[in-house]
Amino acid sequence: MSLALHDLLICCRRLENEKPVERRKEIENFKRLLRDSETVLQLDRNSDSKQGKQLNWDAVFSVLQKYFQKEMKNLQLTKPNASASTQTTRQKKMQEVGSLVKYFIRCANRRGPRLKCQELLIYVLEIIRDPTSCAAYGSDCSSILLKDILSVRKYWCEISQQQWSGNIFKPT
């Protein structure tokens, strides 16, 4: 494993930490690693080779989804009747988390689709189906759906007939 991917693996493990402060500290490192050309190149190679034991874009997306879920849960647990400044801070954190996921998806697929279409759809649908997360991240998910899923020809073939007919968007 290259040094770049080793650093990313350590970063991913830290994003899974139960302590919100520790996770937040690691976000800047995560963004820095995604801007590193060597890290991106290695993730592309591993994703293209389809070797299961290698760190690839899908594995990192899985970690990022877990991070997103922890942050959503953490934000939902905070008191709803907080002060205006606390509410503003909470909104800012929510926007940062949503922007990070959108940034990651675009970074992964910039040089061609690397992420699995079904994983992207599942992520989008889980958010859209939950009223709380939809209110916070619905516009980000709409953007991901339009710009990062439906605009990619390769993904068209991976969306089932049932999904195309709209059954996936009906409430469960």
- Cβ atoms of 88 and 75 within 8 Å: the answer is no
- pLDDT, one tens digit per residue, over 70-111 is 888 877 776 667 778 877 887 788 888 888 999 999 999 999
Q: Per-residue pLDDT for 168 more than 70?
A: no
pLDDT score at 115: 95
- Say how many CA atoms lie within 13 Å of 36 toward its Cβ: 17
And the tokens for 28?
Answer: 């800047």
- N- to C-terminal Cα separation, the chain: 42
Residue 32 CB: number of other CB atoms within 10 A?
Answer: 12
And the tokens for 77?
Answer: 């647990």
Q: What is the pTM of this model?
A: 0.87
- pLDDT, one tens digit per residue, over 107-159 is 999 999 999 999 999 999 889 888 888 888 889 999 999 999 999 999 988 98
Query: Alpha-carbon distance 41 to 47, whole Å?
Result: 10
Give the 3-state secondary structure percentages of the chain, helix then strand then coil, rounded to 5: 80, 0, 20
Using the structure block, give the residue that is written with the tokens 């989008």. 124
pLDDT score at 170: 56
Average pLDDT over residues 20-49: 92
Domain spans of the chain, in order of start: 3-168
- Cβ atoms of 78 and 90 within 8 Å: the answer is yes
Using the structure block, give the residue that is written with the tokens 């073939």. 157
Q: Per-residue pLDDT for 42 more than 90?
A: yes
Query: Alpha-carbon distance 16 to 67, whole Å?
Result: 6
Query: Alpha-carbon distance 148 to 151, whole Å?
Result: 6
Using the structure block, give the residue that is written with the tokens 């409430």. 171
